[in-house]
Chain A
């Protein structure tokens, strides 16, 4: 059995968890001997939505770990919940929490753990392909021990419903938590930059700013473009580490991974670590003075030129077309 940890929020299951369920179902389909079950935890705000999503994914049963101790996040507690359901595979999305919880599962079970897996290439012994170098390369890795512990890379598969929905059995249980499980629980949640991070990962249009912008005081054109498009501003690591923009706007291996309809990269060279964060954008547009920059050669569309000339012209064109008396 493949046990999938499903992260949930006010809107139901996280997209990354739905991807992981799809990944698990496809593997089960190939193996023919495995079923997929899901683990959900805590007070489960959107229980009805989650149930529908899991049914659509064809999940056979759902284990809901509740009770005192499961309401506040603690990696150890969630790992204990997963370990309470014997399985052949334990999977989670390669999110911060998914990675943390599965590391606990693997450390306790004395098994290996493969992070950011994109494919299971063999099952005897279990061998996976997983992202390394922030997704710029792949490692074929043998995953030893039982259960097989795997986090699934974001966008490794598109979330897709099963051919036929299931009517999953729903089991409530209270895991037996230890003091150590609870010692690392979140004590409180403060409002903060995390909200802006989710704005970036959920944005339909992202305007990216790189070193080519020039300085912390040179963002007016880009901010206007962002405004005109109802977009979200993102940045390269150079821009955040020079303190021009806050870190939560960073896109890349050590920033956010975005998947907008359109990404407009301005003055960004396109290092592999930056591509790691933007390659899932549907359409990529680059504005750069260097026609040979990897951001340009890897883009769908590009303008070669100084962004401080090009972006104001785009803004003007946008204003013209969206003006109430535009002759179109």
Chain B
């Protein structure tokens, strides 16, 4: 039986223009809403599967604003068994603070989690380090960039893309894995899943520590570039003009 703790982050759902808050410290997501960090979605899919296969429990955990309950409920709708929200101002917590807060929660939780999954990097802050820092806090082996994993007795066999092919790792449990998009296909919530998520009582806690901070001074946006697109025309008639562009770019060398 492998209990799995899956740590997820609520991030602004931005696909177009990014707006900053007046003090330039944060992203203004009022008009776009929030979503799950992409790798976290895969961590949920992987973790729920592993817990199920071994008869274990899958819990999702998020450190963030009250609104992160939305992402926790989503995780429950796609199969997680329980959810914990550590309420905190996510911007006050740097990656080391997040790792320390999760570690504290793991140490005091009633349940023991043989496997902890995190997303490889958050879609917004892109720090690439929470998993590794958490592993040091808990004195566990850690892998990052992992696409798929299976539990074999007291070890976890994991695969991730390497420079020469697929890197295969085998590490003892308890362990920590940072999951990367590409190995599992996150499922969509079923109606039953949604119902379960709606009824679920999320365990709410206060942050166990004062954060040291992320070091953020402020955010900046790249200079907006005026469009310099050269329209080649409309429809199939424009095809020769495009082929001319390819020829000028020197890519028609045959």
Contact = CB atoms under 8 A, between A and B. Distances in A.
Interface of A: 7, 9, 14, 73, 75, 94, 96-97, 99-100, 103-104, 106-108, 112-116, 127, 129, 131-134, 136-144, 151, 180, 183-195, 197-198, 204-205, 229-230, 237, 241, 243, 247-248, 250, 253-255, 261-262, 269, 271-273, 282-283, 285-286, 291, 294, 296-306, 309-310, 312-314, 316-318, 321-322
A298 B165 contact: no
Contact of A186 (B131, B144, B167): B167
A92 B215 CA distance: 20
B162 A186 contact: yes
Given A140-B220, A184-B141, A254-B38, A321 B227 contact: no
B182 A248 contact: yes
B165 A134 contact: no
Given A309-B235, A310-B235, A241 B185 contact: yes
Contacts of A283: 245, 249
Interface string B220-247: 1110010111111111111111110111
Interface in B38-73: 38-39
Interface string B158-183: 01111111111111100000001111
A14 B164 CA distance: 13
Contacts of A113: 95, 127-129
B27 interface: yes
Contacts of A136: 14, 18, 222
B191 interface: no
B166 A189 contact: yes
A112 B96 contact: yes
A112 B14 contact: no
Interface string B71-102: 00000000000000000000000111000000
Contact of A107 (B132, B166, B235, B247): B132
B169 A139 contact: no
A198 B15 CA distance: 26
B132 A103 contact: yes
Q: Could you tell me the dominant secondary structure of chain A's interface residues?
A: mixed
B121 A197 contact: no
A115 B127 contact: yes
Given A191-B166, A303-B234, A321 B182 contact: no
6 contacts: A116-B128, A189-B166, A190-B159, A254-B123, A272-B14, A322-B254
B216 A139 contact: yes
Contact of A194 (B164, B247, B249): B164
A137 B220 contact: yes
Of A116, A254, A305, A313, the most chain B CB neighbours within 10 A belong to A254
Contact of B168 (A190, A237, A271): A190
Contacts, number: 264
Nearest to B243: A317
Contacts of B121: 99, 115
A108 to B, nearest CB: 7
B246 A229 contact: yes
Interface in B93-117: 94-96
A107 B123 contact: no
A276 to B, nearest CB: 10
Contacts of B218: 139-140
A111 to B, nearest CB: 9
B74 to A, nearest CB: 15
B182 A187 contact: no
B219 to A, nearest CB: 5
Nearest to B160: A96
B126 A303 contact: no
Interface of B: 14-16, 18, 20, 27, 38-39, 94-96, 121, 123-129, 131-133, 135-136, 141-145, 159-172, 180-183, 185-186, 214-222, 225, 227-243, 245-247, 249-252, 254
Contact of B232 (A138, A191, A302, A312): A302
A301 B236 CA distance: 15
A262 B133 contact: no
A194 B161 contact: yes
A205 B251 contact: yes
B124 A132 contact: yes
B232 A301 contact: yes
Contacts of B15: 269, 271-273
A103 B14 contact: no
Given A261-B249, A301-B229, A310-B235, A73 B142 contact: no
Given A285-B245, A317-B240, A302 B231 contact: yes
Contacts of A230: 254
Contacts of B243: 314, 317-318, 321
B172 to A, nearest CB: 7
B220 A272 contact: no
